[in-house]
Structure 1
Amino acid sequence: MSIVENEFYNNEKQMKISQIPAEIAQCLVQSGIRPEGNVYLAAYLLHKVSQDISHMDNITLEDIYNGKLDIDEDTRCFAKAHLSEEAWKQLLRLVNYYTPEELAWVALFPGDEEESKTAMTTPHSIIKLAQSILCVQDGERVADLGCGIGSFLVAEAQNQNKAHYYGYEINEERGAIAKIRVELLGADVHVQLCDVFNLVKDNPTPKFDKIFSNYPFGMKLRYLGEGTEYMERLSRKYPGLSKATSSDWIFNALLCDLLAEEGKAVGIMTNGSTWNSIDTPMRKYFVERKLIECVITLPTKMFSYTNVGTTLIVLSHNNERVRMIDASQICMMGRRQNLFSEDDIATIVDAMHTDSDYSREVSIDELRENDYNLSLERYMQCVPAFANGVPFESVIRSISRGAPCTASQLDTMVSNEVTNMQYLMLANIQNGIIDDKLPYLSSIEPKYEKYCLKNNDLILSKNGYPYKVAVASVREDQRILANGNLYIIELDKSRANPYYVKAFFESEQGIATLKNITVGATIPNIGVDKLKKVLIPLPSMEEQNRIAQKYQAAQDEIAMLKLRLERAIDKLHHVFDEESAENDA
Structure 2
Amino acid sequence: MANNLKWELADKIRGYGLNLQKMKLRVLEYYILRTSYPSIFENWNRPYTSREHVQLVMDKKIPLTILPNEEGYFDYTSNVEDATFDNDALFNTLMKHDLYDIREFLIDDSFGDNYYDCTPQSIVDLSISLFGSTVKNRPLLDLCSGTGSFLYQAKRNNVASKYYGVEINIDSYISSLIKMQLDDPADTFLYRGDVFSTFDILTNKSKIKFGGVFSNFPFGLRIQDQEKPNFDEKYKTENDLPIQRRNTTDYSFISLMLRNLDKNGKAIAVTAGGSLFNSIDQDIRKYMVSNGLIESIIELPERLFYYTSIKTYLIVMSFGNKNIRFVDLSKCILEKQRNTNILDVSKSIELINSDEENDFMKVVSLKDVDNQRYNLVPTSYLHQSRIDILNGQDLEEVCEVFTGWQVSSAQLDERFILNPEEKDCVTQIIQMGDVNDGIITRNTNLYKVDDKQFEKFSLKNGDVVISTKSAKVKSAVVEISDNERLIASGSIMVLRVIKDKIDPYYLRAFLDSPIGQHLLSLKQTGNVIPNLTVNNVKKLQIPLLSVSKQKQLAMQYKDKLDKINFEKKRLAKLEKEVDSLFDFVTNGDSNE
**TM band (smaller chain):** 0.7 to 0.9
Task: Pick the aligned partner of 2:366 from 364, 367, 371.
Answer: 364
Q: Does the residue aligned with 2:316 lie in a helix, a strand or coil? A: strand
The TM-score, its normalising length taken from structure 2, stands at: 0.79
> How do 1:114-129 residues align onto structure 2 when only pairs under 5 Å count?
114-115=110-111, 117-118=113-114, 119-129=116-126
**Contact 1:405 1:484 (8 Å CA) reproduced:** no
> How do 1:475-514 residues align onto structure 2 when only pairs under 5 Å count?
475-476=481-482, 482-493=488-499, 496-507=502-513, 510-511=516-517, 513-514=519-520
- Structure 2 residue 577 is the aligned partner of structure 1 residue 571: yes
> How do 1:309-348 residues align onto structure 2 when only pairs under 5 Å count?
309-331=311-333, 332-340=335-343, 344-348=344-348
Say which is worse superposed, 263-272 or 409-418, in terms of deviation: 409-418
Structure 1 residues 327 and 477, CA gap change in structure 2 (3 angstroms): same
In structure 2, the residue matched to 1:262 is: 264
In structure 1, the residue matched to 2:17 is: 32
Structure 1 residues 493 and 69, CA gap change in structure 2 (3 angstroms): closer
Q: CA deviation at 1:416?
A: 13
Identity %: 25
Structure 1 residues 315 and 389, CA gap change in structure 2 (3 angstroms): closer
The 2-side partners of 1:428 and 1:164 are apart by 61
In structure 2, the residue matched to 1:6 is: none
Task: Pick the aligned partner of 1:44 from 24, 28, 33.
Answer: 28
In structure 1, the residue matched to 2:479 is: 473
Structure 1 residues 58 and 486, CA gap change in structure 2 (3 angstroms): same
The 1-side partners of 2:580 and 2:429 are apart by 32
Say which is worse superposed, 236-245 or 422-431, in terms of deviation: 236-245
> How do 1:164-183 residues align onto structure 2 when only pairs under 5 Å count?
164-183=162-181
The 2-side partners of 1:82 and 1:465 are apart by 55
In structure 2, the residue matched to 1:7 is: none
> How do 1:407-446 residues align onto structure 2 when only pairs under 5 Å count?
409=412, 424-435=430-441, 438-441=442-445, 443-446=446-449
The 2-side partners of 1:568 and 1:323 are apart by 56
- Give CA-to-partner distance per residue, 1:205-233, whole Å, 9 cap, x none: 31111222212211224499783336998
In structure 1, the residue matched to 2:351 is: 351
The 2-side partners of 1:532 and 1:159 are apart by 47
In structure 1, the residue matched to 2:43 is: none
Q: In proportion to residue count, which structure has more helix? A: 1
Q: CA deviation at 1:272?
A: 1.8
In structure 1, the residue matched to 2:532 is: 526
In structure 2, the residue matched to 1:303 is: 305
Q: Does the residue aligned with 2:137 lie in a helix, a strand or coil? A: coil
Structure 1 residues 560 and 219, CA gap change in structure 2 (3 angstroms): same
In structure 2, the residue matched to 1:219 is: 221
Aligned residues: 560
Structure 1 residues 421 and 45, CA gap change in structure 2 (3 angstroms): same
Q: Does the residue aligned with 1:287 lie in a helix, a strand or coil? A: helix
- Give CA-to-partner distance per residue, 1:361-414, whole Å, 9 cap, x none: 112121111122222211122475564847536554x85505736399479959
- Give CA-to-partner distance per residue, 1:504-533, whole Å, 9 cap, x none: 333455445544543324222222344456
* Unmatched tracts of structure 1, length 5 or more: 1-14
**Contact 1:517 1:531 (8 Å CA) reproduced:** yes
1:359 maps to a residue whose letter is M
Task: Pick the aligned partner of 1:72 from 65, 69, 72.
Answer: 65
The 1-side partners of 2:361 and 2:556 are apart by 41
The 2-side partners of 1:139 and 1:225 are apart by 37
**Contact 1:434 1:472 (8 Å CA) reproduced:** yes
- Structure 2 residue 194 is the aligned partner of structure 1 residue 195: yes
1:220 maps to a residue whose letter is R
Task: Pick the aligned partner of 2:407 from 396, 400, 404.
Answer: 404
**Contact 1:25 1:39 (8 Å CA) reproduced:** no
- Give CA-to-partner distance per residue, 1:268-291, whole Å, 9 cap, x none: 111222222222222222222222
- Give CA-to-partner distance per residue, 1:46-70, whole Å, 9 cap, x none: 45787899x9543899x999xx975
The 2-side partners of 1:583 and 1:371 are apart by 72
1:209 maps to a residue whose letter is G
The 2-side partners of 1:415 and 1:468 are apart by 30
Structure 1 residues 330 and 312, CA gap change in structure 2 (3 angstroms): same
Structure 1 residues 38 and 231, CA gap change in structure 2 (3 angstroms): farther
The TM-score, its normalising length taken from structure 1, stands at: 0.80
The 2-side partners of 1:308 and 1:232 are apart by 38
**Contact 2:237 2:259 (8 Å CA) reproduced:** no
**Contact 2:465 2:477 (8 Å CA) reproduced:** yes
**Contact 1:145 1:214 (8 Å CA) reproduced:** yes
**Contact 2:261 2:267 (8 Å CA) reproduced:** yes
- Give CA-to-partner distance per residue, 1:68-90, whole Å, 9 cap, x none: 97543743446646999655541
